[in-house]
Structure 1
Amino acid sequence: MALLHKAHITPTKLELLAAWLPARPWYAGDGPLTRVAAARFDDPAGEVGVETLLVRAGEGPVLHVPVTYRGAPLDGAEEHLIGVTEHSVLGKRWVYDGTADPVYVSTLVEVIRTAGNEAVEEFEVDGGRVSREVDLKLTGSGAEVAPATEITGHRDGDPTVISTATVTLNVNRVPLIVVDPADKGVLSACWTGQETPAVLVHLR
């Protein structure tokens, strides 16, 4: 379960991404950046926000951008910092490219290997909790691999390749629409206008 806060964020996620994305080698599109869909994963320790964002620049392709939100800088990850934002409830938050954050990677591998899904999202309202409908459905296929705990290599691109001691992950920056239903070791996604599952991540 992901507990969210009704808050003001300055600059916004899209403003941070609009400044960061054009320098990426896999960026495509021309025009204002818009949100397509998003969903969260749970950090078991409850310290790091883990979100999968799908965005589009103008009429360009849908882009897959995993991000993490931290209450303090991540050691050794300066080159993967998207930006710093001010959250009206949580204070200053450091926003990172999730593919270079070990919490995102370990959580992602766990979702894939256990055939998991996106987290349930809830808001606190008048002392109670209210669920929010998620517009991005994420599904792990299941895979017989060990958990991942540490990133040993990272190569940006499409796909972005993440190496760990146990597995290698190919993160498709442009989701792959052609899916083999028998394929194992994948994270697939559906969203409005894309009811056929598209592959966001391959685990090798």
Structure 2
Amino acid sequence: MAEIMQTTLKPSKLEVITQWMRAQPWYRGAMSPHLEIVGGFRLDDPDGEVGLEFFVVRDEPDGVEYFVPLSYRAEPLRDGESENYLVGTMNHGVLGTRYVYDGPADPVWRVVVADLLNGEAEPQHRTESETPDRTVRLVPGTEAGTVDHATVVRVLLAGPAEEPGVVLPWNAADGGEVSGLVLRGHAG
């Protein structure tokens, strides 16, 4: 399990997400986002090289909630298209420069998320080291072990999930807790 380091990040994760998000076609705001983190979880890279973090952010004042999955790397991806998916860079107080990518563009992210959807990876608490996050739920619907990729639900709707995937709770604007589908699992 990955250790969460208490250190500085410049710019912060939220600052990097905010800058990137306003240019995304799925962003519904008319102006620059004003984001608040209201939920999320992590997954561990079995090789310990790539950070995998998943955020639910709410854009104020309109209250739209978005799911933003990220990967963090020490070196940039070199696949020819990855620069299109670079969210930004951060200076980590211990690890140095981190290249932040939109998760689905990262090959490690894709493998570990498929493992999650097949019940082979355990979600981790977003802010506590070595702590499983038991609030993240899998919605079955495909034969065990057959999910090979995921679709990200970018704009979130709270409510029951009726298709296979990952359901995540988050803090609602009214102070309560809601949940909804954040990742759809696909076989074949």
Q: TM-score range by the shorter chain?
A: 0.7 to 0.9
Give the drift of 1:79: 0.7
Q: Could you tell me how far apart the structure 2 residues matched to 1:96 and 1:75 are?
A: 12
Find 2:34's aligned residue among 23, 32, 35: 32
TM-score w.r.t. structure 2 length? 0.81
- TM-score of the superposed pair, with normalisation by structure 1: 0.75
| Greater share of residues in strand | 1
Alignment partner of 1:4: what SS?
coil
Q: CA deviation at 1:191?
A: 2.2
> 2:179 is matched with which residue?
197
Secondary structure at the counterpart of residue 137 of structure 1: coil
1:24-73 alpha-carbon deviations (Å, 9 max, x no partner): 00012355222112210111111000000111221231110000000100
The percentage of counterpart residues that share the same residue type is 31
Aligned to 1:4: 4
- Give the match's secondary structure for 2:115: helix
- Structure 1 position 131, deviation (Å): 5.8
Alignment deviations for residues 155-185 of structure 1 (CA, whole Å, 9 cap, x no partner): xxxxxxxxxxx7452211012333246x4x3
Kindly report which structure 2 residues correspond to 1:1-204, keeping only aligned pairs within 5 A, or say none.
1-29=1-29, 30=31, 31-60=33-62, 61-76=64-79, 77-114=82-119, 117-120=122-125, 137-142=135-140, 143-144=142-143, 146=145, 167-180=148-161, 183=163, 185-193=164-172, 195-204=177-186
Structure 1 stretches of 5 or more lacking a match?
A: 124-129, 148-165
Q: What is the Cα-based RMSD across aligned positions, in Å?
A: 2.6
Where in structure 1 do 4 or more consecutive aligned residues deviate above 3 Å? 120-123, 130-134, 193-197
Amino acid at match of 2:180: A
* Structure-1 separation of matches of 2:24 and 2:145: 31
Please say if residues 26 and 154 of structure 2, whose CA atoms lie closer than 8 Å, have aligned partners that are also in contact.
yes
